[in-house]
Amino acid sequence: MGIAGICYAEILHQNKKSFYIIDNNQNGSSKIAAGIINPTVLKRYNMTWKGKEFYENAIKFYSNIENKYEKKIIYKHDILKVFTSISDQNNWAIASNKIQLSEFLESKIQTKKIKGLITEYGYGLVKKCARISTDNLISTFKNNLKDKYIKQDFDYNKLFYDNKKVIYKNIIAENILFCEGYSVVNNPFFKKFTCKRLKR
């Protein structure tokens, strides 16, 4: 299971919709992701697309999951942006005064030494960030939604569409949603889009 499928399944579950998750338990990105939630782009000093909105929703969403399944999933902490020059410091000072960013970037340049880090030019704090334990998230879902989880390779040849229903083996459903991460390149239904992308 990957994070996209889990989030979608959780919303369906909250809305009392029936569903199945078909997953082959292979190596998806979610298993190795750092799980960082940071709404700012520190390379360009701006917000990610809809950064604040996504940030607030993500914190709320994962906190709810934590409470519901009684498992630690979200760890709140700051991120350090280490400066490598005076101009880095200047850029930080300007960015931390921008209306959108000031909520997240602490304007004061930090100088306290940190063992193992070269901080000759100091560093900045990105406040209110968080890390998701993707391991805990995935295992919690697997344990709690056992009856919805079918461990197998999805066989695209066995998928049919009939009378506005999706039919896959012995499952008849209203909709099907693919949350297969980078494996989408193997999905024949998205060939048109993935081929275009790969050509670039």
Write out the residues near ligand FAD by the rule CB under 6 A.
1-5, 22-26, 28-30, 32-36, 153-154, 179-183
Q: What is the smallest separation between the CB atom of 23 and ligand FAD, expressed in angstroms?
A: 5
CB-neighbour burial class of residue 67 (10 A; exposed 0-12, middle 13-18, buried 19+): exposed
Query: Of 36 and 94, which CB lies nearer to ligand FAD in the complex structure?
Result: 36
Q: What is the smallest separation between the CB atom of 143 and ligand FAD, expressed in angstroms?
A: 16
Q: What is the smallest separation between the CB atom of 72 and ligand FAD, expressed in angstroms?
A: 17
Query: Of 53 and 153, which CB lies nearer to ligand FAD in the complex structure?
Result: 153
Q: What is the smallest separation between the CB atom of 163 and ligand FAD, expressed in angstroms?
A: 25
Query: Of 66 and 180, which CB lies nearer to ligand FAD in the complex structure?
Result: 180
CA 114 to chain centre: 29
Q: What is the smallest separation between the CB atom of 36 and ligand FAD, expressed in angstroms?
A: 3
Please tell me whether residue 24 adopts helix, strand or coil conformation.
coil
Query: Of 24 and 85, which CB lies nearer to ligand FAD in the complex structure?
Result: 24
Short-list 61, 3, 11, CA closest to 28:
3
* Residue 29 DSSP one-character state: H
Query: Of 11 and 32, which CB lies nearer to ligand FAD in the complex structure?
Result: 32
Whole-angstrom Cα distance, residue 137 to residue 198? Answer: 31
- Going from the C-alpha of 186 to that of each of 68, 96, 154, 189, 192, the distances in angstroms are 35, 43, 11, 9, 11
Query: What tokens does 111 get?
Result: 């100088």
- Going from the C-alpha of 195 to that of each of 149, 176, 199, the distances in angstroms are 30, 22, 6
